[in-house]
């Protein structure tokens, strides 16, 4: 995708990370490589769309990391087009998603309730990591 427009059904209460997952599902761009901005402000994955005062039918900008110095077969040199000679499995791997993950995303159909559950599980793991680090720091003090 270069200088294109993608329409997504996004709610004001959706987390930024959920929008990135929807975009990954629709365009094949790995969520972890996406940076979304609104009015030149980089959006934090843990915030909601409403936190950035995005209006109905608003526009977000997507930025991707620049790939430089690559000599991979899919780098575009010598007129190679990745989509012309790759199998679906290879394409999903190129897009940063293994076959199992791709099937899970398709099965979930990026439903809001599943995205919310994924967010809650992610937050729970983040909290467990934080708590573990606090406990380790306290143990080291004794």
Q: For every one of its 142 residues, what pLDDT tens digit does the chain have, with 9 covering 90 and above?
A: 456 788 888 888 999 998 998 888 888 888 888 999 999 899 998 899 999 999 888 889 888 876 555 545 455 444 544 444 444 544 544 455 556 665 665 665 556 677 677 777 887 888 888 888 888 888 888 7
Contact indicator for 29, 41 with CB cutoff of 8 Å: no
SS3 30: coil
SS3 34: coil
What tokens appear for 84 in the block?
A: 């012309």
The residue behind tokens 């406990």 is 135
**Closest C-alpha among 141, 130, 80, 105 to residue 27:** 105
- H-run or E-run covering 117: helix 112-141
């Amino acid at each position: 995708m270069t200088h294109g427009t993608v329409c997504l059904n996004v709610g004001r209460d959706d987390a930024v990370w959920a929008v990135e997952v929807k975009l990954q599902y629709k365009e094949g761009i790995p969520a972890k490589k996406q940076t979304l901005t609104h009015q030149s402000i980089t959006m934090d994955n843990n915030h909601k769309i409403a936190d950035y005062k995005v209006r109905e039918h608003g526009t977000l900008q997507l930025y991707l990391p620049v790939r430089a110095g690559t000599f991979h077969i899919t780098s575009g040199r010598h007129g190679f087009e990745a989509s012309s000679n790759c199998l679906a499995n290879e394409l999903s791997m190129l897009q940063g998603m293994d076959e199992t993950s791709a099937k899970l995303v398709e099965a979930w159909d990026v439903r809001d309730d599943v995205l919310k559950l994924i967010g809650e599980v992610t937050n729970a793991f983040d909290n467990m990591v934080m708590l573990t680090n606090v406990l380790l720091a306290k143990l080291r003090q004794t």
